[in-house]
Amino acid sequence: MSAPFLYALVGIGLFCLGLYGLIVQAHLLRKILALNVMGSGIFLVLVALARRTGEAPPDAVPHAMVITGIVVAVSATALALTLMLRVAAETGRAELSDDQRESH
Tell me the per-residue pLDDT of 7-60, one tens digit each, with 9 for 90 and over: 999 999 999 999 999 999 999 999 999 999 999 999 999 988 887 666 778 778
Predicted TM-score of the model (pTM): 0.83
What's the total number of domains in the chain? 1
The pLDDT value given to residue 83: 95
- Cα separation of 7 and 40, whole Å? 11
The pLDDT value given to residue 12: 96
The pLDDT value given to residue 37: 97
The pLDDT value given to residue 59: 79
- Cα separation of 97 and 94, whole Å? 10
Is the pLDDT reported for residue 84 higher than 90? Answer: yes
CATH code for position 70: 1.10.287.3510
Range of the domain at 53: 3-103
